[in-house]
Amino acid sequence: MNKPVLPKSSLSLKLPRPDRGLETYRLATSRSFPDKLQGTLNRVAFSAAHVVCDPLADVDPWLSAAIDWDKTIAFREHIWDLGLGVAEAMDTAQRGMGLDWPTSLELIQRSVAAAKARGNALVFSGAGTDHLAPDDAKNLDDVIRAYEQQIAAIEKVDGRIILMASRALARIGRNPEDYVKVYDRVLSQVREPVIIHWLGDMFDPELRNYWGTADLDEAMDVAVGVINANVAKVDGVKVSLLDKQREIDMRGRLDKKVKMYTGDDFNYAELIAGDSSGFSHALLGIFDAIAPAASYALSRLAAGDQAGFHDVLGPTVPLSRHVFQPPTRFYKTGIVFMAYLNGHQDHFTMVGGQESARSTLHLAELFRLADKAGLLANPELATRRMKAVLALRGVEA
């Protein structure tokens, strides 16, 4: 099935350049993608979904998270319509970066209920230790109890678990044996197999030296050992190190029953496509921003159309690399900006005020790359909204 190509766009606007000048940017030829899954998928693909802030709530954004629940759940419905799963209450939702555990739990409860109402749409939710105050994490048993508390709360509503990396464990874990103790104890108690999330310190500097060592090769040895020793309790592992070869190497070392979910927002297209040695499934923050294209590309892959898969997904990679450029932890700003440009929310306001975390030049380049990849669902709306944001930042476009 070939996508319809629309006539060359006549839309244009002025975008800032690094030399402080303005260029007249003319939008490229548009592409359109189905708003529902076409065909089937042969990869399990999760979108780590963002939350929609309530911009009219009378709160101090740096201190309190106000969520527009209707828009937030509507976005998850959009993801499910496209055949993708929702990875709930993860770092894309600003978990631990504006979104606290009580609000995260309410998000999980609402999302799981919405998934059940659709006949059990795919949703896994993050269980971590972020409610544990730094001064209260005295020993490994404190970390274990914190994990147990969040797992119990999610399982109480019949939720599935993504076992998130723990800042508390990163602070007090002294060696690989400490990590083995915590993960073995926690995994022994989960009701259903979980997805383990190894999040690199480029996403969260507080996770430096995770698995008890600064050496990534040694860290991988620890992680693989934990996973392969607990195969019955592990559905898969999501690796977010932005290192293609390490993911491939780890994938080859996992027990065959364990899925590798790529978290590599730089190289996901080739990792999902795979080769003779295997392939990765997906659990990606960028799939929030490119969900229609991702769904269509994955359906082409399942149909045996490798060229079609790469034709659609390949052009999204430069956008993703831009969104996730250092400081990578600010990628959420680009994700929410894309949701605003594409009409999934009526404002560019974020939990914690993080709409200010990226520069005007960064947002302008994001617009260019999204347009070139055919990811602006309504170019007229996107252009109008881009102009509005630029005007607020002093650029009359």
| In a shared domain, residues 225 and 121 | yes
Please, what sign has the CA dihedral across residues 125, 168, 193, 145?
negative
pLDDT at 396: 82
Packing angle of the helix pair 316-323, 331-341 (nearest 10 deg): 130
pLDDT at 290: 98
| In a shared domain, residues 22 and 55 | no
List CB contacts of 160: < 8 A, sequence separation 6 or more: 123, 124, 125, 154, 192, 194
Closest to 74 (Cα-Cα) out of 342, 385, 267, 361: 342
Inside any domain, residue 164 = yes
State the amino acid at position 13 in one-letter form. L
Backbone φ and ψ for 266, nearest 5 degrees, come out as: -100, -30
- Residue range(s) defining the domain that contains residue 313: 42-352
Inside any domain, residue 36 = no
Per residue of the chain (397 residues), give pLDDT as tens.
Answer: 444 444 456 799 999 999 999 999 999 977 999 999 999 999 999 999 999 999 999 999 888 899 999 999 999 999 999 999 999 999 999 998 899 999 999 999 999 999 999 999 999 999 999 999 878 999 999 999 999 999 999 999 999 999 999 999 999 999 999 999 999 999 999 999 999 999 999 999 999 999 999 999 999 999 999 999 999 999 999 999 999 999 999 999 999 999 999 999 999 999 999 999 999 999 999 999 999 999 999 999 999 999 999 999 999 999 999 999 999 999 999 999 999 999 999 999 999 999 999 999 999 999 999 999 999 999 999 999 999 999 999 998 6
Contact 313, 293 (CB under 8 A): yes
Inside any domain, residue 133 = yes
| In a shared domain, residues 289 and 371 | no
Inside any domain, residue 283 = yes
Inside any domain, residue 37 = no
| In a shared domain, residues 245 and 310 | yes
Inside any domain, residue 92 = yes
| In a shared domain, residues 315 and 397 | no
pLDDT at 10: 78
Domain boundary among 333, 352, 371: 352
| In a shared domain, residues 251 and 123 | yes
| In a shared domain, residues 59 and 131 | yes
pLDDT at 30: 79
pLDDT at 44: 98
Inside any domain, residue 35 = no
pTM of the model as a whole = 0.94
| In a shared domain, residues 324 and 391 | no
The CATH number for 87's domain is 3.20.20.70
- Alpha-carbon span 206 to 164, nearest angstrom: 13
Inside any domain, residue 95 = yes
How many structural domains comprise the chain? Answer: 2
| In a shared domain, residues 285 and 376 | no
| In a shared domain, residues 170 and 267 | yes
CA dihedral angle for residue 327, residue 104, residue 385, residue 319, rounded to 10 degrees: 40
| In a shared domain, residues 283 and 267 | yes
pLDDT at 227: 98
| In a shared domain, residues 371 and 332 | no
pLDDT at 5: 46
Closest to 262 (Cα-Cα) out of 295, 285, 293, 289: 285
